[in-house]
Structure 1
Amino acid sequence: MQPAAAVAPAESETAPRPAAGALADTGVEIRPPGGSGALPLGPLPPVRLPASAQLAFEVQGQAKRLQYHASAELDWRQDGAHYEARQQIKAFLVGTRSQSSRGSITAHGLQPERFGDKFRSERAAHFDFGAGQVTFSSNAPPAPLAPGAQDRLSVFLQLGAMLAAAPERYPTGTQITLTTVGVKSADRWAFTVQGPEVLQLPIGETPALKLQRVPREGHDYDQKAELWLGTQLDYLPVRIRITQANGDFADLKLQERTTP
Structure 2
Amino acid sequence: MGSPSKALIPVTGVVLAAHAALLWSLPAANIQPQAKDDQLLMQTRMVEIAPPPPPPPAPAPEPAPKPTPAPRPKPAPKPAPKAAPQPRVPAPAPAPEPAGPESESNQTLASDMQSPVAPETEANSTQTAAAPEPPAPPAPEPEPAEISDGDTAKPMQITPAGSAPLPPSTPLPIALPGGATLEFNASGQVKGFNYSAGAELQWQHDGQYYQARQSISMFLLGERAQTSEGLITPNGLQPLNFTDKGRKTQSASFDLPTGKARFSDGTADAAIAEGVQDRLSVFLQLSALMAAGPERYPQGTVIDLTTSGARSAVRWRFRVGATEALELPIGSVMALRLDKLPGQNKSDQQGAIWLAPTMQYLPVRIRLTQGQDDFVDLKLKKYRPVTQ
Short-chain TM bin: 0.7 to 0.9
Equivalent-residue separation in structure 1 for 2:333 and 2:339 (angstroms): 18
Q: What SS does the aligned partner of 1:258 have?
A: strand
Confirm whether residue 152 of structure 1 aligns to residue 271 of structure 2. Answer: no
Question: Per-residue CA shift, 1:49-71, capped at 9, x if unaligned?
Answer: 01110010001112233321100
Q: Is the CA contact 1:28–1:177 (under 8 Å) kept in the aligned structure 2?
A: yes
Equivalent-residue separation in structure 2 for 1:154 and 1:38 (angstroms): 23
Residue type at the aligned position of 2:159: R
Equivalent-residue separation in structure 2 for 1:39 and 1:116 (angstroms): 32
Residue type at the aligned position of 1:147: E
Q: Aligned runs of 1:68-217 on 2, under 5 Å? A: 68-217=195-344
What residue in structure 2 maps to residue 239 of structure 1? 365
Confirm whether residue 34 of structure 1 aligns to residue 162 of structure 2. Answer: yes
Q: Is the CA contact 1:44–1:148 (under 8 Å) kept in the aligned structure 2?
A: no
Give how far 1:44 is off: 4.7
* More off after superposition, 243-252 vs 73-82: 243-252
Question: Per-residue CA shift, 1:6-48, capped at 9, x if unaligned?
Answer: xxxxxxxxxx983xxx533x2111112234x523222352110
What residue in structure 1 maps to residue 96 of structure 2? none
Q: What SS does the aligned partner of 1:46 have?
A: coil
Q: 2:352 aligns with which of 226, 232, 239?
A: 226
Question: Per-residue CA shift, 1:172-225, capped at 9, x if unaligned?
Answer: 1110001111111111111001110111111111110000112113x2312212
Equivalent-residue separation in structure 2 for 1:39 and 1:83 (angstroms): 27
What is the RMSD of the two structures over their aligned residues, measured on CA atoms?
1.5
Query: Over alpha carbons, which structure has the higher Rg?
Result: 2
Q: Is the CA contact 1:28–1:44 (under 8 Å) kept in the aligned structure 2?
A: no
Percent of residue pairs identical: 48
RCO comparison, higher one (Cα < 8 Å, 6+): 1
Q: What SS does the aligned partner of 2:358 have?
A: coil
Residue type at the aligned position of 1:240: I
What residue in structure 2 maps to residue 11 of structure 1? none
Equivalent-residue separation in structure 1 for 2:317 and 2:333 (angstroms): 25
Residue type at the aligned position of 2:333: T
Residue type at the aligned position of 2:189: Q
Q: What SS does the aligned partner of 2:268 have?
A: coil
Residue type at the aligned position of 1:236: L
Q: What SS does the aligned partner of 1:40 have?
A: coil
Confirm whether residue 249 of structure 1 aligns to residue 375 of structure 2. Answer: yes
Equivalent-residue separation in structure 1 for 2:378 and 2:347 (angstroms): 21
Q: Which runs of 5+ in 1 are unaligned?
A: 1-15
TM-score (norm 2): 0.59
Residue type at the aligned position of 2:179: S
Q: Is the CA contact 2:149–2:315 (under 8 Å) kept in the aligned structure 1?
A: no
What residue in structure 2 maps to residue 12 of structure 1? none
Q: 2:152 aligns with which of 23, 34, 48?
A: 23
Residue type at the aligned position of 1:144: A
Q: Which runs of 5+ in 2 are unaligned?
A: 1-147
Residue type at the aligned position of 1:160: S
Shift in alpha-carbon separation, 1:145–1:157, aligned structure 2, 3 A: same
TM-score (norm 1): 0.88
* More off after superposition, 83-92 vs 139-148: 139-148
Residue type at the aligned position of 1:125: A
Report which of the two has the higher share of strand: 1
Equivalent-residue separation in structure 1 for 2:283 and 2:192 (angstroms): 27
Shift in alpha-carbon separation, 1:44–1:134, aligned structure 2, 3 A: farther
Report which of the two has the higher share of helix: 2
Could you list the structure 1 runs, at least 4 aligned residues long, displaced by more than 6 angstroms after superposition: none
